[in-house]
Amino acid sequence: MIEIGRIVRLQVQTASLKLGERPNRVYDPSPLREVPCLRLTPRGAAGVRDGAPLLDVHHGDHPATKWEAGREASFGFTSHYGRMRDEYGGHLVNGCAGENVLVESTEVWTLEDLTRSAGLAFRGAESGSLLRLANVTVAEPCVEFSRFAIRTRAPEASPQELKPVLQFLSEGTRGYVFTPESDGEVAIGDRLVILT
C-alpha cells in the first residue's frame, strides 16, 4: 500500500454550482458545505453534521439530483489547487471546484498514476479499514468553472479564450470522480492510498 496523502477537507454540494440558463450560466461555489465526516455509498455522498445527513446534489436520493453513473463522488488534491492558483490567481481557494474529498499532496497526480495499480481506497486513520474507489476517472472541467477560473462571467469569454483554460484544467487538474465500491465513512485525517 502506498499513501498518497491525508484528507484535509470534506464537503458536499447542497445544490448545483451552475446558476442560470445557457449561455448566461455562471459558476457559484456558495452551495458548498464543509462537513467533518462524509458517508459514501454507491448512490453518492452525504455529509454527516450533528448526526444528520446532508446529501450532495450528485447523490441519487437528492431532491434535485444530478446523479450520473460513475460520478457519484469526487476527490481532488491541494497540489492541483496550487497549480490552478499559480496560473489564474488566489481566488481559486481549496475546495472551490466542488470535490467531496480534498487530499493534501505536494505531487501532481495523473489518471495513469492513480489507476495503474490494484486500485485506490480511503484508509481510516484510526480503524485502518479500507473503502475502495471504483470507476476512477477525470472530472472534466466545465465552461462555467473555466470562466470562474479566469474571472470572466458568461458570456463575455470567447471560445478562443476558454480553450486553453479547459485544456489546463483537464487531465485531472480539476479533480477526479469515482463510485464508492461499498458503503463507508471517511473523516478528516483519513488517507487516500494506492493498493498494491
SS3 of 88-126: HCCCCCCCCCCCCEEECCCCCCCHHHHHCCCCEEEECCC
**Comparison of pLDDT for 130 and 67, the residue scoring more:** 130
pLDDT digits (tens, 9 = 90+) for 2-48: 999 999 999 999 999 999 888 788 899 999 999 999 999 999 999 98
Residue the block writes with cell 472551490: 96
This prediction has a pTM of 0.94
Helix (H) or strand (E) holding 86: helix 78-88
Integer Cα distance of 135 and 150 in angstroms: 30
Of 78, 102, 81, 85, the residue nearest 12 (C-alpha): 102
Of 194, 5, 154, 20, the residue nearest 94 (C-alpha): 5
pLDDT confidence of residue 153: 60
pLDDT digits (tens, 9 = 90+) for 174-189: 999 999 999 999 999 9
Q: What are phi and psi of 145, to 5 degrees?
A: -70, -35
pLDDT digits (tens, 9 = 90+) for 89-138: 999 999 999 999 999 999 999 999 999 888 999 999 999 999 999 999 99
